[in-house]
Chains A and B, each alone.
Chain A
Amino acid sequence: MTEPQRRKAEEIFAEAIDVPRPERDAFVAEKCAGDPKLEREVYELLESHDDASKEGFLSGPTLGGVESLESQPSALDEGPGSSVGSYKLLEQIGEGGFGVVYMAEQSEPINRRVAIKLIKVGMDTKQVIARFEAERQALALMDHPGIARVFDAGSTPSGRPYFAMELVRGVPITEYCDSARLGTRERLSLFAGVCRAVHHAHQKGVIHRDIKPSNVLVTLHDGVPVPKVIDFGIAKATSARLTERTLFTEFRQFVGTPEYMSPEQAEMSGLDVDTRTDVYSLGVLLYELLTGTTPLDPRQLREAGLAEILRIVREVEPPRPSTRLSTLGDAATTAAASRGIDAGRLVRSLRGELDWIIMMALEKDRARRYDSASALAEDLERAMRDEPVRAGPPSAAYRLNKFVRRNRAAVFVTSALLAMLVAGTAGTTIGLVRSNRAEAVAMAEALRASDASALAAERASEAERQAAIAEAVNEFLNRDLLSHASPELTPDPNVTVRTVLDRARDSIGGRFADQPLVEAGVRNTLGSTYSALGLYETAREQYERALELRRRELGEEHEDTVATSGTLAGVLLELGEYERAREMYAEAIRRSTVLHGPLDVTTLRLRQGLAQLEERSGDRADSVTILREVVDAYESTGLSASNDGLGARNSLAFSLDRMSQFDEAIEIFEAVLPEREALLGPDHPDTLVTMGNLALTLNNVGRFEEAATLFDRTIARSRRVLGPDHDYTIMLEGNLALSYQFLGRNDDAEIRFVRSLEAYEDIFGSDHPTTLHAAHNLGSFYASIGRFEDAEPLLVRALERRRELLGEDSFDTQASMGILGRLYFQQQRFDEAEPLITDALRLARESLGPDHEAALAFMNMLASMYAAQQRYDEAIPLYRETIAALKRVMPEGFVGTGVTCFGLARALSASERWEEAEPVWLEAHEILSATFGPEHPRTIATIDGLIRSLESQGKEAEAGEWRSRLPVPASEG
């Protein structure tokens, strides 16, 4: 065949395949006009073409899935006239990223018109059909005028999956509303119908997963618009689970409509979607119906890559509908016009309840969404009847909390302080471990809550003014804070939150000159957020200003003023400004007693705060006394089993632990724990706090195995309930590490110390007080097992940062100085150690008083160092001073007293002052053997020392008696 002939054949062939079959022969014959060779060639090609279609030659993988919206049916695939199962395709009526929709005629078993959705090539047909079959029964149960039924699924001759469903002749709901120029109310009632239909499906166990305007069509029945949801069951059948390895093909299918995708669908975790996913998409649809645009900027989504799209869907908080409209400009005018009103009225019609409802449907955390589509519909109907709605204005504090939570800010703060009272003997150390300012934080939270509830109470009398304030505060925070925040979320949460907060703070300026109470509200919220981030100094400034404004506007007596004083006191406590904090608490308590009465929860909470202060500033006995009174108060009002009452008992036990009154502490914790479990459930965070506290106390009395077991159990629950990255979980792991340290399981301890440090760095950033705690703990651990080189950089850095962030008055800074001093001392770097320890001692005495435990710890440390340098003349009086103070402050038998006695006895023995040494060895032995048992190496060391001092005095008989108590023959020296 010649070249021109071949070309001609190609041309005729290409035209002929478009000619209906009955006319094809005539067409070819005419075109080839007496050229039999050409005619044969064309016929062969046509025959081969039919074979190719029949055999599926080159129909499979070639298209992949890269077609998106520009997809067009190929002449080679099924098209009008083709038969698919028992359906005959008529005309194309729609298309999308998935494929094409045809109107089709069904002849068997009944004659009707249906819609056939042909899924584009590139999907695994068998899987699609299998997934559909799995849901077929549930789909069959759906019977609702608002739902288009899906009849069947199958595979076309060319191997593409198809779905046959009820034919709906309608237009997407958004288009319908705009072209009919429906007003907001009409849109709402139409939309409520959509919710009802979706709810019906949910009740039958079917989740749509792909609700969007093109799947919600409106048809007219006798002139009345009826919404109809199509494609139920199809998204599930056609969606493969998104995984890390998802190839480009699936990726493009997947991101067909990211605007409507719920945050949980955007999680790569494969978390199962539930009905609330549809609630989210309904929220998006409603947003679009009312504002003309989707919550997340479609342009931004289109331009983003996969990872960025997913991030946006998961993280970016959309502006409220009314806010979005007022920033839309021309588009708002257009949107308003298609609703038959002007832009200003449209914005006003959305502000308030409709804003709230939509934002609740769009919550990123599905637990905060409406729990069903019908609940959403009901709230809309309430709004239309001007009844109060379920969705409230997101309170400023809540919004911020949520924001902070996303960035993982502090809720519980670890304070595993020093293992330093016992620095005496190099090598072995025992720790006094503290933890957990949980109660303080919980109290601060409660105070904030009472601040809010005070606001609510007052609403009754001055509802409008208060509502206006709350609204203005919200507006400010949403617009100035959160709107700045969203696009800027960077991987370093601390920096971002801080930047955003700073910007909000700086933008307050003089803009609230006429609304001092609004400014107070804003400052109060900023203060609590700074505080949650550990930026106490800045938090203090905000609270001070809020307090000043409230004092001026509301007077000293007003409950908001009092509440602010309480919160400010809490921050001052963190900053180590105990005197001022004490004054503020005292005043707040006095006023609250007048306002609410002495037994009121608000007053009692303030008193708990004061107890916390006393405990921290060193007056443990006072702390216990106050807490006992608070517990009694709850008891006298019959509330000791209430949540607040249990909280007070938990705090009391915690303080008792700090007083080394471990038995009573354990008793109370063990009583509170089952009550909290019964009242709040075993998984409630408060329950977990009590478990963690109990574990800590067990640790403190040396029941390390039990402590470790209980920590483990608490961690397991906390991981499940709060999440593995929650800071309380991490704190528990840090405490478990301490148990392991004491058990000598150094590898287990190290893993957890390191992990908690890393986790805190991720959550809070490297400069947060909590992170510095973790660094401190890890450094101390390394120091205690002799890994000095690992310890030093951690401890140096912790000290530097604390000095800068918290100042030298802070106990944490002093603790850092002490622990670093001890490290140098352990390394025999006495010249570096001495100034650190003496400074720490001086500062602790100044800020905490001479009898504070920290001061005593530093004294003991200094004495030990003198002893190590054989400066016994300096060491011995210092030891004696320490022991005298310990006996004054601490209960009898306190382990730290025993350890200090041990140090003194050794120093005396080394100076050959045997007579003086003997009773001190005896005292050390009593305490240490009671604490650690008769066979503990340290107990045995006391016996050794005692024997030597007896022998040196020639008291052979007594020495012999003691020698017989040794489990093994005494070694020399």
Chain B
Amino acid sequence: MDQDPRPDVTLLLTDASLDADERANRLLPIVYDQLRATAQKVMASESPGHTLQATALVHEAYLKLLGNREVPWQNQAHFYGAAAEAMRRILLDHARTRKRVKRGGGKAKISLELAGVADLAKDDEPEAILAFDDAFGRLESESPDAAAVVRLRFYAGLTVPQTAQALGISARTVDRQWAFARAWMLREIKRASQNETADEDHE
């Protein structure tokens, strides 16, 4: 494993002169590339059906980019923010590709077993990922705080305490917002799924 931290990433994380958007804009492509490379490498070497966790990927990417270097948590949080966004895009790209590949086999019913949504190699249901992402997008506009929790926990795989630290809120608040987001998103997905089925019935 390449443990050499890339100095640019460490700098990006710790450079106080950067504003948040600037930092995110510069961080995202690096993290995205690294994540995608790792994901592809792992998927290439895995037998089909093996589950690959987004969390593991993100941490692998972290190690690749920063090694074991000590970075203050607040600055690490920038990384996880970028990683979450990158992961989300990778999942989406992947799901869209898979969906194209699967086209012709009839429209698959959206499975609600979204627990496995981030199992990249177990992607029989790209629709599930797309539906999840739609719901997440709506959550972001409806309840940005809860979405921020989902972003870090789901896409970047942070723990409750880590998420709490990164967002500067209490662990209890993270738990509550997580519970809310979970309930809210599931309801959204179910609704969307029913609407779609209804649309199909009209055709």
- Seen from chain A, the residues whose Cβ lies within 8 Å of a Cβ on chain B are 6, 10, 13-14, 17, 44-46, 48-49, 51-52, 55-67, 70-72, 74-76, 122, 124, 159, 244-245, 247-249, 305, 307
Contact check, B180 vs A66: say whether CB atoms are below 8 A apart.
Answer: no
Contact check, B143 vs A49: say whether CB atoms are below 8 A apart.
Answer: no
B171 at the interface (CB under 8 A from A): yes
Bound CA–CA A305/B2 (angstroms) = 13
Take A48-B183, A248-B59 as given contacts and tell me if A58 and B143 are in contact as well, using a CB distance cutoff of 8 Å: no
User: CB within 8 Å of A: which of B124-168?
Assistant: 142-143, 146, 153-154, 157-162
B62 at the interface (CB under 8 A from A): yes
Of the candidates B115, B171, B182, the one whose C-beta lies within 8 Å of that of A49 is B182
Contact check, B182 vs A61: say whether CB atoms are below 8 A apart.
Answer: no
Take A56-B113, A57-B115, A61-B115 as given contacts and tell me if A67 and B159 are in contact as well, using a CB distance cutoff of 8 Å: yes
Binding-face segment, B11-19, B49-57, B194-202: B49-57
Sampled A-B contacts (10; CB under 8 Å): A6-B142, A48-B184, A52-B183, A60-B118, A66-B157, A66-B162, A71-B159, A72-B160, A248-B62, A305-B68
Of the candidates A17, A44, A62, A305, the one whose C-beta lies within 8 Å of that of B157 is A62
Contact check, A122 vs B182: say whether CB atoms are below 8 A apart.
Answer: no
Residues of A within 8 A of B175 (CB): 74-76
Take A48-B187, A248-B56, A305-B68 as given contacts and tell me if A72 and B115 are in contact as well, using a CB distance cutoff of 8 Å: no
B181 nearest CB neighbor, chain A only? A58
Bound CA–CA A13/B187 (angstroms) = 14
Q: How far is the CB of B66 from chain A (nearest CB, A)?
A: 12
Contact check, B115 vs A6: say whether CB atoms are below 8 A apart.
Answer: no
Take A64-B53, A122-B53 as given contacts and tell me if A45 and B119 are in contact as well, using a CB distance cutoff of 8 Å: no
Residues of B within 8 A of A67 (CB): 159
Residues of B within 8 A of A71 (CB): 159
Q: How far is the CB of A63 from chain B (nearest CB, A)?
A: 7
B109 at the interface (CB under 8 A from A): no
User: CB within 8 Å of A: which of B54-70?
Assistant: 54-57, 59-60, 62-63, 67-68
Residues of A within 8 A of B184 (CB): 45, 48
Contact check, A248 vs B60: say whether CB atoms are below 8 A apart.
Answer: yes
Bound CA–CA A67/B118 (angstroms) = 18
Q: How far is the CB of B163 from chain A (nearest CB, A)?
A: 10
Bound CA–CA A70/B113 (angstroms) = 29
Residues of A within 8 A of B146 (CB): 10
Residues of B within 8 A of A56 (CB): 113, 115
Q: Which 5 A-B pairs have the closest CB atoms?
A: A64-B55, A248-B59, A14-B176, A60-B115, A49-B183
B70 nearest CB neighbor, chain A only? A303
B3 nearest CB neighbor, chain A only? A305
Take A49-B182, A52-B183, A72-B161 as given contacts and tell me if A66 and B55 are in contact as well, using a CB distance cutoff of 8 Å: yes
Q: How far is the CB of A607 from chain B (nearest CB, A)?
A: 57
Contact check, B55 vs A62: say whether CB atoms are below 8 A apart.
Answer: yes
Q: How far is the CB of A126 from chain B (nearest CB, A)?
A: 11
Contact check, B186 vs A57: say whether CB atoms are below 8 A apart.
Answer: yes
B71 at the interface (CB under 8 A from A): no
Question: Which of A48, A51, A57, A61: most chain B Cβ within 10 A?
Answer: A61
Take A66-B162, A70-B159, A74-B175 as given contacts and tell me if A247 and B180 are in contact as well, using a CB distance cutoff of 8 Å: no
Contact check, B115 vs A13: say whether CB atoms are below 8 A apart.
Answer: no
Bound CA–CA A68/B117 (angstroms) = 24
B179 at the interface (CB under 8 A from A): yes
Q: How far is the CB of A40 from chain B (nearest CB, A)?
A: 12
What is the interface of chain B mostly: helix, strand, loop, or mixed? helix
Residues of B within 8 A of A17 (CB): 179
Bound CA–CA A414/B68 (angstroms) = 43
Can you add 14 more A-B contacts, CB < 8 Å, to A49-B183, A71-B159? Answer: A14-B179, A45-B183, A46-B183, A48-B183, A61-B115, A62-B153, A63-B157, A65-B56, A66-B157, A66-B162, A76-B179, A76-B182, A122-B55, A249-B56
Residues of A within 8 A of B53 (CB): 61, 64, 122, 247, 249
Residues of B within 8 A of A305 (CB): 3, 67-68
Q: How far is the CB of A523 from chain B (nearest CB, A)?
A: 43
Bound CA–CA A64/B62 (angstroms) = 14
Q: How far is the CB of A468 from chain B (nearest CB, A)?
A: 47
B67 nearest CB neighbor, chain A only? A305
Q: How far is the CB of A119 from chain B (nearest CB, A)?
A: 15
Bound CA–CA A72/B184 (angstroms) = 23
Residues of A within 8 A of B60 (CB): 247-248
B37 at the interface (CB under 8 A from A): no
Bound CA–CA A249/B51 (angstroms) = 13
B112 at the interface (CB under 8 A from A): yes
Contact check, B143 vs A10: say whether CB atoms are below 8 A apart.
Answer: yes
Contact check, A247 vs B182: say whether CB atoms are below 8 A apart.
Answer: no
Bound CA–CA A13/B190 (angstroms) = 19
Q: How far is the CB of A56 from chain B (nearest CB, A)?
A: 4
B178 at the interface (CB under 8 A from A): yes
Bound CA–CA A46/B162 (angstroms) = 26
B150 nearest CB neighbor, chain A only? A58
Contact check, B55 vs A58: say whether CB atoms are below 8 A apart.
Answer: no
Bound CA–CA A65/B157 (angstroms) = 9
Bound CA–CA A420/B185 (angstroms) = 85
Bound CA–CA A45/B182 (angstroms) = 9
Contact check, B157 vs A159: say whether CB atoms are below 8 A apart.
Answer: no
Residues of A within 8 A of B169 (CB): none
Residues of B within 8 A of A70 (CB): 159, 161
Residues of B within 8 A of A45 (CB): 180, 183-184, 187
Q: How far is the CB of B113 from chain A (nearest CB, A)?
A: 7
Q: How far is the CB of A258 from chain B (nearest CB, A)?
A: 15
Q: How far is the CB of A704 from chain B (nearest CB, A)?
A: 45
Contact check, A248 vs B63: say whether CB atoms are below 8 A apart.
Answer: yes
Q: How far is the CB of A231 from chain B (nearest CB, A)?
A: 23
Q: How far is the CB of B73 from chain A (nearest CB, A)?
A: 12
Bound CA–CA A305/B63 (angstroms) = 10
Residues of A within 8 A of B171 (CB): 72
Of the candidates B112, B119, B185, the one whose C-beta lies within 8 Å of that of A55 is B112
B114 at the interface (CB under 8 A from A): yes
Question: Which of A63, A71, A248, A249: most chain B Cβ within 10 A?
Answer: A248
Q: How far is the CB of A782 from chain B (nearest CB, A)?
A: 37
Bound CA–CA A632/B193 (angstroms) = 97
A305 nearest CB neighbor, chain B only? B68
Bound CA–CA A247/B54 (angstroms) = 11
Residues of B within 8 A of A249 (CB): 53, 55-56, 59
Contact check, B160 vs A61: say whether CB atoms are below 8 A apart.
Answer: no
Contact check, B186 vs A52: say whether CB atoms are below 8 A apart.
Answer: yes
B41 nearest CB neighbor, chain A only? A245
Q: How far is the CB of B184 from chain A (nearest CB, A)?
A: 6
Contact check, A57 vs B56: say whether CB atoms are below 8 A apart.
Answer: no
Residues of A within 8 A of B187 (CB): 44-45, 48
Take A62-B157, A67-B159 as given contacts and tell me if A6 and B143 are in contact as well, using a CB distance cutoff of 8 Å: yes
Residues of B within 8 A of A159 (CB): 115
Question: Which of B117, B118, B176: most chain A Cβ within 10 A?
Answer: B176
Bound CA–CA A74/B173 (angstroms) = 11
Residues of B within 8 A of A48 (CB): 183-184, 186-187, 190
Contact check, B119 vs A49: say whether CB atoms are below 8 A apart.
Answer: no
Q: How far is the CB of B57 from chain A (nearest CB, A)?
A: 8
B50 nearest CB neighbor, chain A only? A124
Q: How far is the CB of B178 from chain A (nearest CB, A)?
A: 7
A42 nearest CB neighbor, chain B only? B183
A46 nearest CB neighbor, chain B only? B183
Of the candidates B45, B62, B154, B185, the one whose C-beta lies within 8 Å of that of A62 is B154
B173 nearest CB neighbor, chain A only? A14
Contact check, B143 vs A66: say whether CB atoms are below 8 A apart.
Answer: no
Q: How far is the CB of B3 from chain A (nearest CB, A)?
A: 7
Bound CA–CA A62/B143 (angstroms) = 20
